[in-house]
């Protein structure tokens, strides 16, 4: 068994234990392996260990990786989870299955208009700045409902839910608080008639808190692939 396969199994065990603690089925929580900065060979190793969904933050790096793994394209699901600039929307619309980081109508409109004819609708999540950090991307929670309705009305996109990157916190209770706020916001949007099914929260350090608060997708990188080297 490869190191990556071993780490994947450990993460799946963490998800299962957290789900059990929340009286949830582990099947309700999908695992997104965040492969940014890691080579295509590592993605292939994770794929060989049964992983199918992968998250990327950098458009150019991701597009090169997707091309290098073209033989897997029918079975692999690519998620863009990083900040998205207007000049990169076309590449993302052409190559990805999901985008988690939409926080402006302009970006959503460009993705909708640039989705290739005949392609399935692009699954998208609205990124919410749930911790109120000035340095973080994301729509303010009180503006999320209006933007969600505008995005849901666009052709070629399917609004699936909400995503957040909360401020890091030391204790489980502190970690749970922003996740709970995001879940409450999603409950409100669903009560208002939006058909949302995805709560994209939780990373290597706060996976358990996210699952306890209803995460349906956790974005795990370090715990699968190891520490990142950003020097290149």
Residues in contact with 54: Cβ distance below 8 Å, sequence separation at least 6, in sequence order: 32, 33, 34, 35, 43, 46, 76, 77, 78, 79
End-to-end CA distance of the chain: 29
Angle CA(103)–CA(107)–CA(108) in degrees, nearest 5? 85
Alpha-carbon distance 69 to 200, whole Å?
25
Domain 3-225 = CATH 1.10.238.10: no
> Whole-model pTM?
0.97
Domain ranges, ordered by start, for the chain: 3-225
pLDDT tens per residue, range 99-127:
999 999 999 999 999 999 999 999 999 99
Angle CA(121)–CA(185)–CA(216) in degrees, nearest 5? 55
Alpha-carbon distance 182 to 141, whole Å?
8
pLDDT tens per residue, range 52-98:
999 999 999 999 999 999 999 999 999 999 999 999 999 999 999 99
């Amino acid at each position: 068994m490869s190191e990556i396969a071993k780490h994947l199994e450990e993460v799946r065990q963490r998800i299962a234990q957290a789900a059990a603690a929340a009286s949830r089925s582990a099947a309700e929580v999908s695992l997104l392996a965040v492969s940014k900065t890691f080579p295509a060979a590592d993605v292939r190793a994770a794929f060989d260990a049964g992983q199918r969904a992968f998250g990327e933050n950098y458009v150019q790096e991701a597009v090169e990786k997707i091309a290098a793994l073209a033989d897997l394209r029918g079975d692999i699901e690519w998620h863009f989870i990083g900040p998205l600039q207007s000049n990169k929307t076309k590449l993302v619309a052409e190559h990805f299955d999901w985008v988690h980081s939409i926080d402006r109508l302009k970006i959503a409109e460009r993705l909708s208009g640039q989705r290739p004819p005949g392609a399935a609708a692009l699954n998208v999540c609205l990124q919410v700045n749930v911790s109120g950090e000035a340095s973080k991307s994301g729509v303010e929670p009180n503006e999320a409902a209006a933007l969600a309705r505008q995005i849901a009305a666009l052709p070629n996109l399917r609004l699936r839910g909400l995503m957040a990157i909360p401020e890091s916190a030391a204790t489980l209770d502190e970690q749970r608080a922003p996740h709970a706020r995001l879940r409450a916001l999603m409950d409100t949007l669903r009560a208002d008639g939006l058909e949302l099914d995805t709560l994209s929260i939780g990373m290597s350090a706060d996976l358990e808190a996210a699952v306890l608060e209803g995460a349906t997708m956790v974005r795990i990188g370090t715990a699968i692939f190891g520490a990142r080297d950003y020097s290149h």
